[in-house]
Amino acid sequence: MARNRRNILAAARKHLIQAGFRKLSLDQVAKDAGVTRVTIYRQFTSKLGLLDAVAEDLAQRANLVAGIQAAAAVDDPVAAFKVMVAELCRFWSTDPDLLRRLISLSAVDPEANRVINDREQWRFEQVAKFVQRLADAGRLRTTFDAQQAGVAIGAATGFPACDEMANRLRLSLDQLDRLLLALLSGVVRLD
């Protein structure tokens, strides 16, 4: 059962990157995974359920939740924030091809947008918690309140912005945290 699930998710990832969500053939995914289409529906209930499972698998493979929790456990709010930024960069580097596809899908497909938007909402909520800790410690620049800082930092640490910077600078995504922290020092005092 677990092997079938892994095979289905791997096949879905491959076809999602190659063909996109609209052209994602569950028959082809089933064939590549060595299962029947019925097996896919039993495990994931729909094509959208499979997309959600692919996104969740990415987060699980990267241990994103554990990484964010570890950052939150750091006592010093500045140090915790720095760990959070590094953790997001590490996550973005886990599977950038899949992330590019998921982000582009969310821009054009309302169903895919719901799947991705829920995950992005979670990320923004986590960023807001770190920003609130910085605000409570008096570390926000005077031009920003906690909400403005959270939105600015959430946008700057999102995959599209990070991917653009990394590509233009020819850096891997997991090397981007130092640059991001320098940029974000215009929003929060990190010294």
Where is pLDDT greater, at 160 or 17?
160
> CA 141 → CA 82, 135, 150, 187, distances in Å?
16, 9, 12, 5
38 shares its domain with 121: no
Kindly report, residue by residue over 49-79, the tens digit of the pLDDT: 999 999 999 999 999 999 999 999 999 999 9
Kindly report, residue by residue over 75-121, the tens digit of the pLDDT: 999 999 999 999 999 999 999 999 999 898 888 888 888 888 999 99
C-alpha 161/C-alpha 115 separation (Å) is: 20
> CA 19 → CA 11, 51, 109, 117, 169, distances in Å?
12, 13, 14, 21, 28
C-alpha 47/C-alpha 41 separation (Å) is: 8
The number of folded domains in the chain is: 2
Tally the residues of the chain.
Answer: 191
Q: What is the mean pLDDT of residues 121-146?
A: 97
Quick one: pLDDT at residue 1?
A: 75
52 shares its domain with 75: no
Q: What is the mean pLDDT of residues 124-150?
A: 97
CATH label of the domain that carries residue 88: 1.10.357
Which of 41, 57, 73 is the last residue in one of the domains?
57
Domain, as residue range, for 52: 2-57
40 shares its domain with 111: no
